[in-house]
Copies of this chain bind each other. A is one copy, B any other.
Amino acid sequence: MDKTLIFGHKSPDTDTICSALVYADLKNALGLEARPVRLGDVNKETQFALDRFGVEAPELIEKVDDDVDNVILVDHNEFQQSVDNIQDVHISEVIDHHRVANFETKEPLYFRVEPVGCTATILNKMHKENAVILSKENAGLLLSAIISDSLLLKSPTCTQADKEAAHELAEIAGVDLETYGLEMLKAGADLSDKSALDLVTMDAKEFTIGEANVQIAQVNAVDTSQIYESQAAIEQEMKRLISDKGLELFLFVATDFLENDSDVLALGSAKEKVEKAFDVSLDANNRALLKGVVSRKKQIVTNLSEQF
């Protein structure tokens, strides 16, 4: 029997989980037995989408078993983002929307990468190409994936094709795009169970800028003021890390991805560099609102680099 697994990348996001689920259903509708699986925990946003449309998460796997004939990669192609034993398995297909790199097969395959904002947008198209009708549930999952990857159609990566697909899918799924989208993103941005240490370390990167050691931690939220209710505890963790690591600057960035701005907290001897870099004044709480700033790599590091 042909045994085919479909999975997305490690640290799965909503596009990865939903695309694996929906593509497996499409494959089965076309007569190929295929099973969706996942390579990591389901995050809160994805769980919200699954619950809303009454779909179970795919099974977790650690590696691909020896008796699997084929694997299909969705939402990724780079091997380091894939299952650990990816080099030992036969890849029959890739459906993705990322750059192509660190990928290699011995045999020809079906490899489909399109420059759109979400794998789900390609899958919506593939249903049409194969004249397979999407169920309400699967339309809801693909919609959730697009909302997630495009931050409700606001991200610069979102294309016209993603927007059109999202509106179509919302109609089939029977939900209001804006209302449902906000609910889902808020569920994903729920930081209520995170400790102050979690917040300053869960997505932190260290940079050497000029001669200075700079740490920049970022969290995404829909209500940044909620995060700063525990500012005292956050500062305490930051100060400990500044001393432990000998940092000149620790910048904590709370990004409101709906408003497209970031409420930052700067500590360390070089904190005035932040004021110069973004032409703002830190308030008495060492905070400032950076309007239009959401990207650590493209906006924050770049602007700071000019000051050091």
Contacts and interface: CB of A to CB of B under 8 A. Distances in A.
Interface in A90-125: 97-116
A144 to B, nearest CB: 21
A102 to B, nearest CB: 7
B102 A113 contact: no
Contacts of A111: 100, 111-114
Interface residues of A, number: 20
A163 to B, nearest CB: 17
Residue of A100, A103, A112, A115 ringed by the most chain B CB atoms within 10 A: A100
A100 B107 CA distance: 8
Interface of A: 97-116
B108 A110 contact: no
Q: How many copies does the complex hold?
A: 2
- The binding surface of chain A is classed by DSSP as loop
A32 B280 CA distance: 45
B114 A105 contact: no
B103 A103 contact: yes
B104 A98 contact: no
Nearest to A104: B101
Contact of A100 (B99, B109, B114, B116): B109
B108 A113 contact: yes
15 contacts: A97-B108, A99-B104, A99-B108, A99-B109, A100-B105, A101-B103, A101-B104, A102-B104, A103-B103, A108-B115, A109-B113, A109-B115, A110-B113, A110-B115, A112-B113
